[in-house]
Amino acid sequence: MSGGPSEFSDLVASARVIVEELLEEGVERFDLRETAAEEHPERPTASPAHAHAEPKTPLPESGSRPAPPHKATSPPAPAPVSTPAPVSLPPADWGANPSLAEVEGVLGDCQRCALCQGRTQIVFGDGNPEADLLFVGEGPGQHEDLQGLPFVGKAGQLLTKMIESGLGIPRKSVYICNIVKCRPPNNRDPLPEEVAACRSFLDGQIAAVRPKVIVSLGRPAASLLLGRKVAISRERGRWQSYRGIPLMPTLHPAFVLRQYSEENRRAVWEDLKAAHAKAQAQPPAEGVAED
């Protein structure tokens, strides 16, 4: 290899991110020999027997987990709990510009999904109702559930630091919310039906705030807003749009804390800077498109 030690550690960090994403996506094994054969057809494959080996485990449908090979004959695994499946956009029935109070009022003491059973309180959102930047995370954790505010635990502290020390703007000048408003038990990923039950409230918040730029934090938020599975480490930093509003997908701060590499920190920093610069350059929002 021609690169120096820092290039090598960058490569290791990137490989880690990709493996972590594959694990999060439910992939538990992959056949390196097949991959090698696809990428380097000139190399001999392992053995002829391999050609008749069991078929490659299909990639999971959204959120599902292939059964591990040694359990091939056992009953199907229990219901998946990983990625919320991208759901189709429900009609935006909030009108052009509802208020946050109106959206929160309709949410009420929500019992629309099972998450209500384990919550201490609903974590609706926090910040400036007229913010230029709106952040969307996944769902409240323990600290958020106790305090009733989004992003106040360790990941939240990192996000707050990046907003305040990095961008140089107070946290209260932006708006922060989540895909689901109640804490999933043991911080598991929200289930598709939980995401679907809460979806319209996120849309209501976006319609109320009318931000100039949305920043999605992590794969679930980007996947939900874009309506497809997003490979966040590959797609972060690339402008998208949600209902006519520029959308910047970036890494989740909890992921950055787990993979505390220079590369990941720099990536989020670049994305936030780009989002902030675009918001400053945008004319005031007109209203949120219906679809």
Residues at the site binding ligand URA, with contacts judged by CB under 6 A: 137-141, 144, 150-151, 153, 155-156, 178, 254
Least distance (Å) between residue 251 CB and ligand URA: 12
Residue among 6 and 186 whose Cβ is closer to ligand URA:
186
Q: Which amino acid is at 125?
A: G
The answer for residues whose C-beta is within 8 angstroms of residue 212's C-beta and 6 or more apart is 132, 133, 245, 246, 278, 279, 282, 284, 285
Backbone angles phi, psi at 17, to 5 degrees: -60, -45
At closest approach, how far in Å is the CB of 220 from ligand URA? Answer: 8
Which residue has its beta carbon closest to ligand URA? 137
Shorter beta-carbon distance to ligand URA: residue 159 or 207: 159
Q: Quick one: how far is CA 135 from the chain centroid?
A: 11
Q: Which is nearer to ligand URA, 66 or 182 (CB)?
A: 182
CA pair distance 206, 204, nearest whole angstrom? 5
Q: Which is nearer to ligand URA, 155 or 197 (CB)?
A: 155
Tokens at 74, concatenated: 């056992």
Nearer to ligand URA, 217 or 279 (CB): 217
Whose Cβ is closer to ligand URA: residue 135's or residue 242's? 135
Beta-carbon contacts of residue 173 (< 8 Å; ≥ 6 apart): 127, 128, 131, 132, 133
Least separation in angstroms between residue 252's CB and ligand URA is: 6
What does each C-alpha distance from 113 to 82, 180, 198 come to in angstroms?
17, 10, 8
* Least distance (Å) between residue 205 CB and ligand URA: 13
**Nearest distance from residue 126's CB to ligand URA, in Å?**
9
User: What's the DSSP call for residue 163?
Assistant: I
Q: How near is the Cβ of 10 to ligand URA at its closest, in Å?
A: 26
**In 18-29, which positions are buried (b, 16+ CB within 10 angstroms) versus exposed (e)?**
eeebeebbbeee
d(CA 157, CA 164): 10
Rounded least distance, CB 141 to ligand URA, Å = 5
66 vs 84, which CB is nearer to ligand URA?
84
What does the alpha-carbon distance between residue 260 and residue 269 come to, in Å, rounded to a whole number?
Answer: 13
Residues 285, 93 contacting (CB under 8 angstroms): no
